[in-house]
Amino acid sequence: NAGVTQTPKFQVLKTGQSMTLQCAQDMNHNSMYWYRQDPGMGLRLIYYSASEGTTDKGEVPNGYNVSRLNKREFSLRLESAAPSQTSVYFCASTLAANEQFFGPGTRLTVL
Amino acid sequence: GENVEQHPSTLSVQEGDSAVIKCTYSDSASNYFPWYKQELGKRPQLIIDIRSNVGEKKDQRIAVTLNKTAKHFSLHITETQPEDSAVYFCAASRTSYDKVIFGPGTSLSVIP
């Protein structure tokens, strides 16, 4: 099993450009999450999907949209990137009542 | 919504000493409290978790305690080793299906 995979690993954008971060899991997990990690700020929840077909806002949803494409895939879209969105983005998934499994992360720089 | 605070933000200990990290949470309905370890450049990984019906849980050198009345929980690492050096995050959620809110992290350095 690959676990949780994310693409791309690195990305540089110019202000105003758009992009989609992809996340997939092969563990048959119900819930999936997107976090951003900034120095000294910990992991802040952007959006989550408790089950296929549902999505909910987290702590810092502004400037982002998500799509739970199917049970395996949960994508994060930046419609108009801003320098404040420079961060490391982690996707995570969980089955039931237990740990979250994290992907390797995407390092995004917005110039 | 839930707010999780964590102290200290940095912690240095001598190898073999104990390390304690403390967290507080705001939502009295939270009942699941995991701890994650993140080594430099890697993804966070669960090291231990505790639920509201348990006051303490141990796993070898790691233990977690929970005080629901005071809304705080702590991570205890005994006999620290250099490989324990990492950033540790506490978190809280109402259920493990619900959103999980993380604390800001503690950078632990174990000095050989």
Residue A36 to residue A50: CA distance in whole angstroms:
18
**pLDDT one-digit tens code per residue, B68-112:** 999 999 999 999 999 999 999 999 988 756 788 899 999 999 999
- By CB atoms closer than 10 A (0-12, 13-18, 19+), residue B51 is middle
Cβ contacts of A35 on chain B, cutoff 8 Å: 102
Tell whether B99 is within 8 A of chain A (Cβ): yes
Question: For A14-64, what is each residue's pLDDT tens digit?
Answer: 999 999 999 999 999 999 999 999 987 789 999 999 888 899 999 999 999
Residue B54 in this model has a pLDDT that exceeds 90? no
Which residues of B are less than 8 Å from A33 in CB distance? 99-100
Q: How many CB atoms lie within 10 A of CB A37?
A: 21
**pLDDT of amino acid A6:** 97
Checking phi first, is residue A97 left (phi over 0); if not, alpha (psi -120 to 50) or beta? left
For residue range A55-96, list pLDDT tens digits in order.
999 999 999 999 998 999 999 999 999 999 999 999 999 876
Q: Given this model, what pLDDT does residue A29 score? A: 92
Counting residues of chain B whose pLDDT is more than 90, the rounded percentage is 83
